[in-house]
């Protein structure tokens, strides 16, 4: 069975429909970014800190920047195109203290700005893209994670 090549569904829209589609897309991106910003600001206000850093194996495509996954106050945050030298400084700070505190979050044009408090100075991390990932082991929603201190109720054996 052969299939006809799929075409871009947007190409079939009229000029006014494409304009409305792009406006809706921009609005949804703004709302999503605003939701993520509010969540990250909440982590900063609560005094959350970075307790883990994970970087993928690099293929050498971009020697100056890399994607990274941070664990901030138990939340996984994926950042795209973070400067490697900045990541090295953050990793070095994590080797001396358990959690590097997140003090501020904001936007600078298209960049996300995460500010961390080190022992002697502030460390500013710029990322092109930032994504809050689902809770550990969750189905993608914001279900509460069982506390490690108390008994784990509701878990199937």
Confidence label for 59 from pLDDT (cuts 50, 70 and 90): low
pLDDT, residue 54, reads 87
- DSSP code per residue over 58-127: P-SS-SSEEEEEEEETTEEEEEEEEEHHHHHHHHHHHHHSS-EEEEEEEEETTEEEEEEE-SSSEEEEEE
- Strand-pair partners of 82: 66
Confidence label for 56 from pLDDT (cuts 50, 70 and 90): confident
Which position has the token pair 């900045």? Answer: 86
Confidence label for 151 from pLDDT (cuts 50, 70 and 90): very low
pLDDT averaged over every residue in the chain: 81
Confidence label for 79 from pLDDT (cuts 50, 70 and 90): very high
Residue 66 has pLDDT above 60, yes or no: yes
Confidence label for 4 from pLDDT (cuts 50, 70 and 90): low
Residue 85 has pLDDT above 80, yes or no: yes
């Amino acid at each position: 069975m052969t299939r006809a090549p799929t075409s871009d569904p947007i190409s079939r829209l009229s000029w006014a429909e494409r304009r409305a589609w792009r406006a809706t897309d921009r609005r949804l991106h703004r709302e999503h970014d605003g939701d993520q910003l509010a969540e990250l600001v909440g982590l900063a206000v609560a005094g959350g800190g970075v307790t883990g850093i994970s970087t993928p194996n690099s293929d050498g495509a971009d020697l100056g920047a890399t994607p990274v996954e941070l664990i901030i106050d138990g939340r996984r945050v994926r950042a795209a195109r973070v400067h490697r030298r900045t990541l090295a400084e953050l990793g070095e700070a994590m080797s001396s203290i358990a959690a590097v505190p997140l003090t501020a979050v904001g936007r600078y044009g298209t960049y996300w700005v995460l500010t961390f408090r080190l022992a002697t100075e502030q460390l500013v991390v710029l990322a092109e893209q930032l994504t809050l990932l689902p809770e550990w082991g969750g189905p993608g929603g914001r279900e509460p994670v069982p506390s490690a201190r108390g008994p784990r109720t509701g878990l199937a054996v």
